[in-house]
Copies of this chain bind each other. A is one copy, B any other.
Amino acid sequence: MARAAGVSRSTVSRVINEEPYVSAKARDAVHQAILDLGYSPNQAARTLAGNRANAIALVVSEQGSRVLSDPFFAGVLRGVHAELSGRRVQLVLMMTQQDDEQDIVGYLAGGHVDGVLMVSLHGQDPLPLKLADAGVPIVVGGRPLVGDGIQYVDSDNFNGALEAARYLVATGRRRIATIAGPKDMAVGMDRLNGWRRGMAEAGQPSDLVAHSTVFTPDGGAAAMEDLLSREPELDAVFVAADIMAMGALRVLHAQNRRIPRDVAVVGFDDLMIASTALPPLTTVRQDVEQLGRTMTWCLLGQLDGEEGLPPSLLLPTSLVIRASA
């Protein structure tokens, strides 16, 4: 390779790494040789010689083996990829297992990757903190419940829920319930608190809260039944996730409540199933792909040692009005 371009290995390296002090002539010769030879630098050698791994890890907590089928994760993955494209950074996917957390920390802190992106579905996970303590650059997607100094990116769940609550109030609803997510997940609590604020602003009671321990249609259905038995007169429900809203709709249909006439329903997430639901679901959209992009952008910024990086970020959400409310 160096010979083909008529320069030294050092110069080839400089060109490839886009270092400043290379003559135009040498640069052109190297580029031409790269084309002629179809040369692709050996990553392992670069990693070993340099001090960078040229790779980042996307870590998914085991609890969410199911997480991989979660649209949230898929969207994040897409965003991470989009942001990485063009960069010479590989994406390594890792899933933690209950028994090998020590291995994972050792691996990730051992220079095999330059930084870590983590999707934290249950905010209690101690892994982000351990990694940060070990000096590994890390950005978490979704607000973690533990670990103050950890940089995270999240959708603005609080304000999204607040907007949903305000909309229900503005459309004349007088007895508004909510189906909230698990109490140990920031996403669940943030959405609940947004709804509470909305109720408080309107001077309405915020007693009609049913928690589901899981984000599933069945969890939503059980919560909906609970709410209806506690307050048969409720005329609206804010469901903290579209997937739970599917179960809530099922129960409302079964009890012959007309939607939205008798009960207005607002979801959260704007999954694809929201627009095909019966009736199409009014919901709060979060841009999950943007979340992935932003996480990656933050991590790469950390790695490049950029100054003045933003602290943790909240991404805007928006209410998408369809037929259910």
- Which residues on B sit within 8 Å (CB–CB) of A278? 250, 253, 278
Asked whether any CB of chain B lies closer than 8 Å to the CB of A74, the reply is yes
Asked whether any CB of chain B lies closer than 8 Å to the CB of A17, the reply is no
User: Dominant SS at the A interface?
Assistant: helix
Contact indicator B276/A246 (Cβ below 8 Å): yes
Docked CA distance A91–B97 (Å): 16
| A253-B278, A278-B278 given; A81·B95 CB < 8 A | yes
Copies in the complex: 2
Smallest CB separation, A162 vs chain B (Å): 27
Would you list which residues of chain A between 194 and 232 have a CB under 8 Å from chain B? 217
Chain B's closest residue to A71 (CB) is B69
- Which residues on B sit within 8 Å (CB–CB) of A97? 85
Chain B's closest residue to A75 (CB) is B69
Smallest CB separation, A251 vs chain B (Å): 11
5 examples of A-B residue contacts, CB within 8 angstroms: A42-B110, A42-B112, A45-B48, A68-B75, A91-B93
Task: Give the interface of A toward B (CB within 8 A).
Answer: 38, 40, 42-45, 47-48, 53, 55, 58, 65-66, 68-71, 73-75, 77-78, 81-82, 85, 90-95, 97, 102-103, 106-107, 110-112, 217, 246-247, 250, 253, 272-273, 275-276, 278
